[in-house]
Amino acid sequence: MEQYDVIVIGGGPAGYVCAIRASQLGMKVALVEKRNTLGGTCLNVGCIPSKALLDSSEQYHFAKEKLKEHGVEVGSVQLNFTTMMKRKEKVVSEVVKGVDFLMKKNKIKRYLGLATLQSNNKVAVQGENEKAEISASKIVIATGSIPAELPFLPFDGKKVISSTEALSLKKVPKKLAIVGAGVIGLELGSVYARLGSEVHIIELLPNLLPTCDGKIASYAKRLLESQGLKFYMEHKVKGLEKSSLLVETPKGDTININADVILVATGRKPFTENLGLEKIGIQLDEKGRIPVNEKYETNVSGVYAIGDVIKGPMLAHKAMEEGIAVAEMMAGKYGHVNYKAIPYIVYTWPEIAWVGMGEEEAKKQGYDIKIGKAFFKANGRAKAMGETDGQVKVIADKKTDDLLGLFILGPRASDMIAEAAIAMEFSASAEDIARSIHAHPTLSEVVLEAALDAEKRAIHA
């Protein structure tokens, strides 16, 4: 039986990052992954392929709708969906090969197969071409999550699909119904709306993106509606009747939505099946997650868990930070994850990104707040780009000026939110941002103006 210092179960962002950091710290590491390629959902059927399609669809839309205003005249713009999908697959292939290279570079032993816990220091691996029993003093569970299925609308892989199938459709559906106005629903809805689909999004809640600031979310909804997406807020999906989606309106009436494809995007659930958790005494919580302490250790000594299988948002960058933190803690060092400074991003266009609390949450927690706002329409760089939709919103404590939250709805918000995350990490005030020089002309000046506006001294707003 091969002996290791650490066995990591799961090769997604949490697992492979944990394995690399543990190896850097001098541990002998084994990584077990059932998928042929590493990277988990994120790299294979999530973050990376969806962003590839989002970028491709944005290019198509830009060429079709906006090139002329820049003085670039082209002939008829045609969509080659097959080529677009091949490009997406090429991007995914390059990224996952990069993770394979990192495993070799860091001398991490890779096992291909299903892992089952035999005890708190032993794991059985069963694969098509591999069968092994390995042991370690520390085991890290990082098995990620899978799409949540609705019992009254089960996946069939053709008519009713998850995000996995939505990233590999053979053709653009004429009419796409999406159940859920969260990140996945909005991003994939944006992709197919740009490519010509009639997109209908059904949401049980009154607002999209429930963890986002309410006013920013409402503004985003208006912009998405202007792009052709149709929303049914506070509508309840009842099931499928023949080819129609049965939907209950807020008044209790039933309407039918006919669609070629129905994407169920109501969230994800931890993947812990067939791990042998019960066998070694690990119990799940009411949401199917693995409870852990502040060191990410389960109730069974020597067994840890990170990423989507534990509490917190199901985000790749959150999982990566936990992977680093748990590796450092296992090595006797100080690992750290600041859950209050985790950025959230929705890759629609314009993009939506935020860190910290929204206006409603801050008030709910008893803060007396002040708000600063600035709009991209007043920004020179945004005007030059022809992308003036959106705003930045700063939320700060009125007494201390501590930054409580920062929200960006606008072009390249995904890149700009890093400034806010760093500010939150170092307990910055709104004035700290306002007195930091932002290069001109850049989109980041809108963040500066919003911070200035929190003290009602904006220059260009």
Where in the sequence numbering do the catalytic residues fall? 440
Rounded CA-CA distance 166/150 in Å is 17
User: Which residues, in sequence order, are CB contacts of 245 under 8 Å at separation 6+?
Assistant: 177, 179, 202, 237, 239, 256, 257, 258, 259, 262
Rounded CA-CA distance 393/398 in Å is 15
Residue 175, strand partner residues: 198
**Measuring CA to CA, which residue among 9, 5, 3 is closest to residue 135?**
3
User: Which residues, in sequence order, are CB contacts of 115 under 8 Å at separation 6+?
Assistant: 7, 9, 32, 34, 123, 124, 125, 275
What single-letter amino acid sits at 154? Answer: P
Rounded CA-CA distance 264/148 in Å is 8
For residue 262, the SS3 value is strand
- How many beta carbons lie within 10 A of that of residue 108, not counting itself? 22
For residue 11, the SS3 value is coil
Rounded CA-CA distance 80/171 in Å is 10
**Measuring CA to CA, which residue among 271, 288, 27 is closest to residue 142?**
271
SS (H, E, C) 389-437: CCEEEEEEECCCCEEEEEEEEECCHHHHHHHHHHHHHCCCEHHHHHCCC
The CA-atom distances, in angstroms, between 99 and each of 40, 105, 108, 318, 457 are 11, 10, 11, 18, 48
Specify the DSSP element, H or E, that contains 63. Answer: helix 47-65
